Amino acid sequence: MSKIRVLSDQLANQIAAGEVVERPASVAKELVENAIDAGARRVVVDVEAGGRRLLRIADDGCGMTRDDAVLAFERHATSKISRAEDLNAIATLGFRGEALASIASVARVELVTKTEEAEAATRVLIEGGRMRDVKDAAHPKGTTITVRDLFFNIPARRKFLRSEATESFHLTNLVTHYALAHPEIAFTLTNNGRETLRAAPASDLRERAYQIFGAEFLENLLEVEGGHTSVALVCGFVSAPRERRTSRDAQYLFINGRYVRDRLVSRSLSEGYRAVLPHGVYPAALLFLDVPLEEVDVNVHPAKTEVRFRRAAAVSDAVRESVRAALASAGYARGIEAVHETVTPTRNAAQSTEWSGSEDSTFDMRDEAEGRYCQRTRRHPAPHSICIAGGRAGCRQRDCRSFHTRDD
């Protein structure tokens, strides 16, 4: 008897869910992205018990026909791509065709959807990956998908979920990210019956930031605009140096409207502040990169929060110099010019075509802002890391964390 066997579709989906569905916020991410891809102008998120008991996403997008609604729960079923060549220029947030199948395999799912042309909506019930019912229903144009009892059939996964407060925090953070990325869309988040976020359609990012964070936060932001169309256009807002954070939690980074967690962009942002912020503190940022689709690979990880750039060093330069220009325009230019002279890429960034992601080796001096050793030698400290904040030569002490000016 053969020891190797083909796994059932249900078991395969549950295994795949381990990568796609980490926590309730992972489910919300996939469903909110589907709503945005469907052209929604309004997205409503309802949460109970941190998303364990219930997570409901309602939108007014294009909706689905009955055939598509049923087919959407099959693995590798998607309307976003159809050919291998499509992976070279992905313009939608979703494209894998795995999310709904994975979610439905570890939860009780109800999907109600209607297109503008349909006379009736379609209601689909799935429990643990098994189709229970498909029938007509009443529903306006758009889609509402309800996910109940996440990981009900995998107790081992369920017990690894964090507290309700922690899971609710991650859900709020996720909705905040997408509300910032798409100010033209109205977002509402309700947690245990209490509305925790409401953002009406906004005309631009500044108005949306005001809706979410308030006037005081907005007053301390500097506008960023720079980069190059062939590499990356950089726009958004960063905080004034006096607004210091002890973590990067207030950094919202987006690439082509996609919420990402990218170390290269985050480090480049820190490098832009190296002359005006001491080690261990970070700026707040709402930073958007518009990168040519063929220059960025989003098909790196099932969660789609990691990317790889074709010309990572050039992207890093664009972010760093755009931030420095914003600081200089606001009068924080002291020391920036001196720091600029010490940071020289090891090769022509604009000509580099090696694919690299957040762990890219082409950006050799990326650890300088952290005061670490030079990436090129891994032995000797980079000259400008002797004193993180800069200052005249007599002030430069190894591992110094003080803020020095040229007058010291």
Q: How many domains does the chain have?
A: 2
Give the whole-angstrom CA distance, residue 78 versus residue 68: 9
CATH number at residue 345: 3.30.230.10
Residues 49, 17 share a domain:
yes
Q: Is 312 found in the same domain as 245?
A: yes
- The CA-based angle 120-149-23, given to 5 degrees, is 105
Q: DSSP letters along 324-380, please?
A: HHHHHHTT--TTHHHHHHH---SS-GGG----EETT-SS-TTGGGGGT-B-TTTSSS
pLDDT number for residue 203: 95
Q: Are residues 199 and 231 in the same domain?
A: no
Q: Is residue 76 part of a domain?
A: yes
Helix (H) or strand (E) holding 36: helix 24-37
Based on the domain organization, do 60 and 200 belong to the same domain? Answer: yes
Residue 334 is predicted with a pLDDT of 58
**Distance between CA atoms of residues 73 and 403, nearest Å:** 56
Q: How far is CA 297 from CA 263, 293, 358, in A?
A: 15, 8, 12
- In this predicted model, what pLDDT tens digit does every residue of 17-68 receive, in sequence order? 666 788 999 999 999 999 999 999 999 999 999 999 999 999 999 999 999 9
CA angle 219, 240, 214 (to 5 degrees): 30
Does residue 114 sit in the same domain as residue 32? yes
Please state the separation of Cα 49 from the chain's center in Å: 24
Could you tell me if residue 215 is inside a domain? no
> Are 168 and 227 within one domain?
no
Helix (H) or strand (E) holding 216: helix 215-219
- The answer on 86 and 37 residing in a single domain is yes
What pLDDT digit, counting tens, does each position of 159-179 carry?
899 999 999 999 999 999 999
Q: Who contacts 8 (Cβ-Cβ below 8 Å, separation ≥6)? A: none
Element housing 179 (H / E):
helix 164-181
Return the number of other C-beta atoms located less than 10 Å from residue 127's C-beta. Answer: 18
Residue 119: give the domain boundaries: 9-205
Residues of the chain scoring pLDDT < 50: 338-339, 341-353, 358-408
* pLDDT for position 375: 31
Q: What is the pLDDT of residue 91?
A: 73
In a domain, 401, yes or no: no
**pLDDT at position 333:** 64
Q: Which residues contact 10 (CB under 8 A, 6 or more apart)?
A: 105, 128, 129, 130
Q: How many CB atoms lie within 10 A of CB 20?
A: 24
Dist. CA 241–CA 138, nearest whole Å: 53
In a domain, 402, yes or no: no
